């Protein structure tokens, strides 16, 4: 395990000469959970010293157990969350940990985010044409006629009739709504899309359609993707490289996605599959005791009474603080 765990400190650089457009070095994100009863503050480390790169025109897939920090990384890369320490470089420009909106403004066009739930991402009282045009309104460099033409172009690009622009979000299926969200993300001609579980809420047939759409858009527009997912089949279909995460750390980089199931998952499985232990053989941390798997000062909030539960299911390396 030790040789694998050291991978989280490694920076995976481009090996084929392609331009590296995103780089993170020892990226850390802590969340302040408030005061402890005995004094001090509780801090949860969601991302712990993660280094990775994204090259132009490639898809980097992020997989890992729930709560491993995948979505947090994506949100930090688009400025939705500040990072605590480390380094983020986008297109050669370093982003400070607490960068103001003015520092992000020139990068907003180039990095966009696709959310997991398209229904929640769209205003139910706004026609989809207006929603797609919203980034264009913020940019403010198009006339009304040019904006309308751009909306029609984006609708056709994602496979929707232009007449649908007058409809409201509730009139569409889940797959169509996700196409609308993708169209809005493409409004300003970005170079990177961060797709956070972009197909997780869809059925299998719709997942295949959206995945094919993303691949077609990548071929047509030269996009780069940070594709966050937990479905290995989807990740294998779209990704060029796949970093595997567990408990806020980068465990392994799979450079051959077809073998992700054999090279990545056995590592994570040791922590995600619970093992049966007897209460007398292993003492479970009680309330206000430090979580043994956590790298911060967060206390364990899981309290187990051995007298009531003589058989306890405890993951080998799982956090007991959530």
pLDDT by residue (tens digit) across 258-271? Answer: 545 445 554 444 44
Tokens of 310: 């003589």
pLDDT at residue 114, as a whole number:
94
Per residue in 68-94, pLDDT tens? Answer: 788 899 999 998 898 998 999 999 888
Flag whether 27 is in a domain: yes
d(CA 164, CA 86): 44
CA nearest neighbour of 37 among 283, 251, 301, 221: 301
87, 200: one domain:
yes
pLDDT at residue 45, as a whole number:
85
322, 265: one domain:
no
Work out the number of other CB atoms within 10 angstroms of the CB of residue 190: 21
Contacting residues for 126 by C-beta, under 8 A, at least 6 apart: 168, 169
pLDDT at residue 54, as a whole number:
93
Query: C-alpha dihedral over 217, 71, 125, 181, to 10 degrees?
Result: 0
- Distances in Å between the alpha carbon of 228 and those of 47, 91, 174, 202? 15, 21, 19, 15
Tokens of 224: 């780069």
pLDDT at residue 11, as a whole number:
40
Lowest mean pLDDT among 113-122, 220-229, 282-291: 282-291
pLDDT at residue 97, as a whole number:
82
Q: Which residue has the tokens 């309290």?
A: 303
Kindly tell me if the per-residue pLDDT of 305 is higher than 60. Answer: no
Per residue in 215-226, pLDDT tens? Answer: 999 999 999 999
Overall average pLDDT of the 179-197 stretch: 94
pLDDT at residue 109, as a whole number:
87
Flag whether 115 is in a domain: no
Flag whether 154 is in a domain: no
Structural domain span for residue 246:
2-110+190-272
Work out the number of other CB atoms within 10 angstroms of the CB of residue 52: 22
25, 91: one domain:
yes
Tokens of 14: 């481009």
d(CA 63, CA 246): 9
194, 290: one domain:
no
Calculate the average pLDDT of the chain: 76
H or E element that contains 1? none
261, 286: one domain:
no
Domain count of the fold of the chain: 2
Residue 83's domain is classified under what CATH number?
A: 3.40.50.300
pLDDT at residue 205, as a whole number:
84
Q: Given the DSSP bridges, would you call strands 274-278 and 311-315 parallel, antiparallel or unpaired?
A: antiparallel
Please indicate whether residue 60 or residue 140 has the higher confidence score (pLDDT). Answer: 60
pLDDT at residue 77, as a whole number:
92
């Amino acid at each position: 395990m030790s040789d694998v765990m050291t991978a989280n400190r490694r920076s995976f650089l481009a090996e084929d000469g392609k331009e590296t457009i995103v780089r993170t070095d020892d990226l850390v994100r802590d969340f302040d959970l408030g005061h402890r009863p005995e004094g001090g503050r509780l801090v949860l480390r969601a991302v712990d010293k993660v280094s990775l790169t994204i090259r132009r025109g490639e898809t980097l897939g992020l997989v890992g157990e729930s709560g491993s920090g995948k979505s947090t990384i994506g949100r930090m890369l688009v400025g939705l969350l500040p990072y605590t320490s480390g380094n983020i470089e986008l297109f050669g420009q370093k982003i400070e940990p607490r960068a103001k909106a003015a520092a992000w403004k020139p990068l907003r066009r180039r990095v966009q985010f696709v959310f997991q739930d398209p229904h929640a991402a769209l205003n139910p009282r706004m026609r989809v044409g207006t929603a797609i045009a919203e980034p264009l309104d913020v940019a403010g460099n198009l006339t009304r006629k040019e904006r309308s033409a751009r909306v029609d172009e984006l609708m056709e690009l994602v496979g929707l009739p232009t007449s649908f622009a007058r409809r409201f979000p509730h009139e569409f299926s889940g797959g169509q709504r996700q196409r609308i969200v993708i169209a809005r993300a493409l409004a300003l001609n970005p170079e990177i899309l961060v797709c956070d579980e972009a197909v997780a809420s869809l059925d299998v047939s719709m997942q295949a359609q959206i995945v094919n759409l993303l691949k077609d858009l990548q071929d047509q527009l030269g996009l780069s993707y940070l594709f966050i997912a937990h479905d290995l089949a989807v990740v294998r279909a779209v990704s060029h490289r796949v970093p595997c995460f567990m408990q806020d750390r980068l465990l392994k980089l799979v450079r051959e996605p077809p073998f992700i199931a054999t090279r990545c998952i056995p590592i994570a499985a040791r922590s995600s599959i619970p093992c049966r232990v007897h209460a007398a053989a292993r003492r479970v941390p009680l309330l206000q005791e430090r979580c043994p798997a956590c790298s911060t000062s967060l206390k364990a909030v899981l309290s187990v009474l051995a007298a009531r539960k003589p058989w306890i299911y405890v993951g080998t390396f799982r956090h007991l603080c959530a």
